[in-house]
Every structure is written in C-alpha cells, then in structure tokens.
Homo-oligomer: A and B are copies of this chain.
C-alpha cells in the first residue's frame, strides 16, 4: 500500500496547519507507530502512556501536542490534536486505491439498471433491477445488490456485501464484507403457541459518510423504515433491529445489539458488546460503556454503564460497594454477636 509520494514537514503544515519545530525540510514518505517507525516515517504521540516510547523512536519526525512539544528533539509538528492530525497525514500518504472503472465479465446486471461509466463492478457481483448507482461507485466482487437499491456517489462496497431490495445508502458509504443490509426484522405474532410472520415492509435508509463493519446486520423496518443518519460509524458484528433510528455521527463498537424501534441520538459513542432493549430513546451525546445492558430510555447526555446500565458514576460506586459487601457481612456479624452477649449475661 505504500505510495512513493513524499512531503516535507513544511508542506504538511501548509495543508493541515500546526507548527514545525526543528528542520522543516525533513522529508516524509509514510506514517508509522513510534515503535516501528524508521527514517522517512512520521509518527505521533496521542496518549500519555506511550511517552516512554518517544525517546527510543527512530521516526524521522513526530506529531506532538503543545504540552508534549518539549519531550523530543526530533523534527516535529506541534498541533492541538495529534491523533486527528495524524489521521489526516496518514490519509495523505495512503489515499484509497483507485480502481479501474468497468464491469467484470462475470458480473450479472439485471434489466433496468444502468451502470455509470465511472463505476467499478467486481467479479461475480449481482445487481438487480432498477438499481440506481451514483458516480464512482465501487461494488466489490461477489456483492449482492437487490432490486431498486440506491447507492450514492463514491460509495464503496467491499467484497460480498449484501443489500436487500429497496434499501438506500448515501454518498461515500464504506461497507465491509459480509454486512447484510435490509434482511427481515424479527417480527412474529403468537397464534395458538406458534408464530405467524409479520411481513417486513419497510426499508433501510442510510445517510452520507456512513461506515459499516464486517458481518454487521441492519434489518429493514416492519412498516416504516430503519434509519441510519449521516456520519454514523458501525463496527463489525453489530445487530440493528427493525425500525431503529441512529442519529448522525454516532459511533458503535463491535458486537453491540440494538433491539427494534429504539432511537439513538446524535453523536453518541456506544461501546462494544452493549445490549439496548427495544422501544427506548437515547438522548444525543450519550456514551455507553462496553457490554452495558440498557433497559430504560436515557434522557440526558452523559456516560452510562453497568448491568443494568445507570450513569457511570453510580455504576462505578456500585462496583466499589459490591467489593465491600463481604466486609459489611463481617461487620454485621460482629455487631450481632456483641448484642447477643449482653443478653446472655442479663
């Protein structure tokens, strides 16, 4: 993936801001971690715990916060947010690989679908009827695009992404292999001890700039639609139930499951393995710790965790107290013994 392109530190700060300390003509060709960097690489320090690695790094330059600017004598870029700055620099040195437009000879395109000249359709991909593809769309080998799907410009589906009929993705979507978008929600009515299927008639509507991880599932709505707003980032192996709505710029880590009809606010951060029950409302800017179980709506921005989830300070205190229940019992026993003694004496 390494590109031959090189930039001097001065050119980098010209693009992204920040200030160079040391030799601004230092030439950089790639990014690397402090540990594995060599000459020609630029690295970064974003967490205090990695400071000890700074002294030993062989990087040609580093990206540091203002507070850490004095910790190294290497050529360095000083900025407000080294991790964000590094993300930009890394993208500069590692642009997405350009794919030759065209339709692989083994792809199957059904009637009523027009493939833009700028699109790339991989080997063995299947594209149904009346599909609408934006400019520059990349559909990887083995993808399955159901009838009447809409894919916004510059969207990129890796190999083996499955999109059921009628679902829509916005522009610049990035979807990883094995993701399934638009399968039936889990809707059944009981009838004499068995289950009668409730047809799942809604769609999945996905905004712009959404990333969806490998083997993640987003179910179509039962009647209305399941909605993923702009800028949402979903990790791998996530389950999104029917009629869920996820607010813009919310990020959700892997293995989390969100039951049907729950609405998550904007700019939330939800840890891995979290369970959120159905028909709940989660406010904007809520952070939920990994593997929490959310059983009630959360009305206020803040940080929550636990089983069942509560605000994270309560949860931390509860965990601490639980570690003392043992001693509570001991202390209680002592009091009981003392009380019984006088009575015996009496």
Binding site for B on A (CB under 8 A): 1, 31-33, 35-36, 81, 83-84, 86-88, 90-91, 94, 104, 106, 108, 122-124, 126, 140-142, 144, 146, 158-160, 162, 164-166, 174, 176-178, 180, 183-184, 186-191, 193-199, 201, 209, 211, 213-215, 217, 219, 223-224, 231, 233, 235-237, 239, 241, 249, 251, 253-255, 257, 259, 267, 272-273, 275, 277, 290-291, 293, 307-308, 317-319, 321-326, 328-329, 331-332, 335-336, 338-339
Contacts and interface: CB of A to CB of B under 8 A. Distances in A.
Given A124-B124, A164-B158, A224-B33, A94 B142 contact: no
Contact of A237 (B165, B195, B237, B332): B237
Contacts of A1: 165-166, 201
Contact of A259 (B189, B253, B322, B329): B253
Contacts of A275: 255, 272-273, 290-291
Contact of A307 (B87, B91, B291): B291
Contacts of A195: 231, 233, 249, 251
Contact of A84 (B191, B241, B323): B191
Contact of A321 (B241, B277, B325): B325
A123 B290 CA distance: 41
B124 A224 contact: no
A215 B215 contact: yes
A214 B217 contact: yes
Q: Most B CB atoms within 10 A — which of A36, A174, A224, A236?
A: A236
Nearest to A85: B189
B33 A186 contact: no
Contacts of A94: 199, 201
Contact of A183 (B31, B81, B126, B158): B158
A118 B31 CA distance: 40
Given A84-B196, A215-B215, A325-B322, A160 B160 contact: yes
A317 B291 CA distance: 22
Contacts of A236: 180, 183, 186, 217, 219, 239
B338 A231 contact: no
Contacts of A241: 254
Nearest to A141: B126
A47 to B, nearest CB: 9
Contact of A31 (B84, B166, B176, B223): B223
Nearest to A83: B189
A107 to B, nearest CB: 9
Contacts of A293: 273, 290-291
A249 B140 CA distance: 34
B186 A254 contact: yes
Contact of A331 (B122, B307, B336): B336
Nearest to A35: B224
A294 to B, nearest CB: 10
A195 to B, nearest CB: 5
Contacts of A338: 339
Nearest to A266: B193
Nearest to A93: B199
